[in-house]
Amino acid sequence: MANRTVKEAKNIHGTNPQYLVEKIIRSRIYDSKYWKEQCFALTAELLVDKAMELRFIGGVYGGNIKPTQFLCLTLKMLQIQPEKDIVVEFIKNEEFKYVRALGAFYLRLTGSALDCYKYLEPLYIDNRKLRRQNRVGHFEIVYMDEFIDELLRSDRVCDIILPRIQKRSILEENNELEPKVSVLDEDLDDEIISDEENPIEIEDESKNKTHKRSRKERSRSASMERTGYNVRSRDYNAELERYQRERERTRDVPNSSNSNRHHYYEERDRMLRERDRHGGYEREDRYIRDEYRESKRHESRDSRHDRERERERRDRRH
């Protein structure tokens, strides 16, 4: 008895108003604790108090499909079918945003296309935030104008399939609805008028912007020239390749002649100076210095052996 539609209720879209909610969701609402405790024996006057207590909107959530309080009150409104004036007052209520959202959702389910466009489109200027509970049970932020746009454009909102309505363009062609006038058109017209009145100021602003941009570009190019990053990197890479080729060519240094060794070490010293000037990597510089010291040590040892051999020859002659 508590779940039946009132006798005075009229059919909406050719069916029982409660049948606008799917059967499985409707049965979940009937079994919910909020429906049994808070929605029992509600009238249109008491429904306003319950709507003022809403803190979020949403459909069903969780794995076992739990309905939200917003959906329970929507089904209660379908059951008792309040008068149209009460629903319009819900929509015009500016103090309680969730009362307005409830009235807009109910009007979209039960109202005609003309009523939906007439009463819902003015709500596009409402930019207040709404909390919406998704299917996982988490809360997300949605704006009132977004919610109204979903009601007029989407096929399913809050897990309820919305009845089809005629497109606005068709109603405008049939002269049943006036052409839509956006609130932003007035702002655009004001901007166009101000642009026409002050063209000199706009040109000065554009010149200042280009001047600032050119100054930034010049400062960036000047910094690049000061650092010399591109030129230095190219020279460094070229010198590094040449050094690697020389090292491959003179890898067998101990077996080469003294002149070749001398030329190789001079080239290496020059490369070390170039790397110090261009700021090379410390690890590679350390490696090259160690290699250079090792080669110098070998060179000194070879020269010491040469001196010993020369001394032995002199001793034999004497």
Q: Model confidence over 118-130: pLDDT tens digits?
A: 999 999 999 999 9
Residue 26 pLDDT? 92
Distance of alpha carbon 150 from alpha carbon 28, whole angstroms: 24
Compute the distance between CA of residue 304 and CA of residue 10 in angstroms, rounded to an integer: 119
**Which of the listed residues 117, 147, 174 is the one where a domain comes to its end?**
174
Say which residues have a Cβ less than 8 Å from residue 261's Cβ, sequence separation at least 6.
Answer: 253, 299
Residue 230's pLDDT is 47
User: 164 and 286: one domain?
Assistant: no
The pLDDT, as a whole number, for residue 75 is: 93
What does the pLDDT read at residue 278?
A: 55
Last residue of a domain, one of 141, 174, 207: 174
The arithmetic mean of pLDDT across residues 287-308, rounded, is 70
Q: Are 25 and 137 in the same domain?
A: yes
User: Do residue 272 and residue 168 come from a single domain?
Assistant: no
- Residue 310 or residue 278, greater confidence: 310
Phi, psi of 27 (to 5 degrees): -70, -35
**Percentage of the residues of the chain whose pLDDT score is greater than 70:** 66
294 pLDDT band (50/70/90 cuts)?
A: confident
Residues 22 and 165 in one domain: yes
Answer yes or no: do 168 and 23 share one domain.
yes
The amino acid that residue 246 corresponds to is: E
Q: What are 146's two structure tokens? A: 């977004």
Residues 159 and 275 in one domain: no
Overall number of domains in the chain: 2
If asked whether residues 167 and 39 sit together in one domain, one would say yes
Specify the DSSP class assigned to residue 15. Answer: B
Closest to 119 measured CA to CA, from 106, 130, 132, 129? 106
Task: Give the tens place of pLDDT for each residue, 17-36.
Answer: 999 999 999 999 999 999 99
Res. 132 pLDDT band, cuts 50 70 90: very high
Closest by CA position to 278, among listed 219, 221, 230: 230
Query: How much is the pTM?
Result: 0.59
In a domain, 184, yes or no: no
Residue 253 belongs to some domain of the structure: no
Residue 157 sits at φ, ψ, to 5 deg, of -135, 135
- Bridge partners of 156, per DSSP, are 161
Is 32 part of any domain? yes
Domain boundary among 174, 204, 223: 174
pLDDT at 9 (0 to 100): 83
pLDDT at 23: 92
With residue 130 as reference, give the H or E element that holds it. Answer: strand 129-133
pLDDT in tens, 67-81: 999 999 999 999 999
Please tell me whether residues 161 and 298 are part of one structural domain: no
Task: Print the domain residue range for 25.
Answer: 17-174
Whether residue 185 lies inside any domain: the answer is no
Helix ranges (DSSP H) in the chain = 23-31, 33-38, 44-52, 69-80, 84-92, 97-110, 113-120, 144-153, 168-173, 184-197, 199-227, 229-249, 258-278, 282-317
Instruction: Please tell me the distance from the alpha carbon of residue 138 to that of residue 143, in angstroms, as a whole number.
Output: 17
Residue 105 lies in a domain: yes
Going by C-alpha positions, the residue among 116, 118, 103 that lies closest to residue 164 is: 116
> Are 76 and 92 contacting, i.e. CB atoms less than 8 angstroms apart?
no
Task: Please report the pLDDT score of residue 277 as a whole number.
Answer: 60
User: Is residue 108 predicted with pLDDT exceeding 90?
Assistant: yes
Does residue 167 sit in the same domain as residue 304?
A: no
Task: Please tell me the predicted confidence (pLDDT) of residue 147.
Answer: 95
Residue 8 lies in a domain: no
Q: Is residue 68 part of a domain?
A: yes
pLDDT of residue 195: 57
Same domain as 139, residue 282: no
Q: Could you read off the pLDDT of 206-264 as tens digits, one per residue?
A: 656 555 555 555 555 555 555 444 444 556 667 777 777 776 665 544 444 555 566 66
Average pLDDT, the chain: 79
User: Is residue 1 very low, low, confident or very high in pLDDT (cuts 50, 70, 90)?
Assistant: very low
Two structure tokens written together for 198: 């002050």
pLDDT digits (tens, 9 = 90+) for 141-195: 999 999 999 999 999 999 999 999 988 888 888 888 888 777 666 666 666 666 5
* Same-domain status, 160 and 293: no
Of the pLDDT bands very low, low, confident and very high (cuts 50, 70, 90), residue 107 is: very high
Q: Is residue 98 domain-resident?
A: yes
Positive/negative CA dihedral, 205, 210, 216, 218: negative
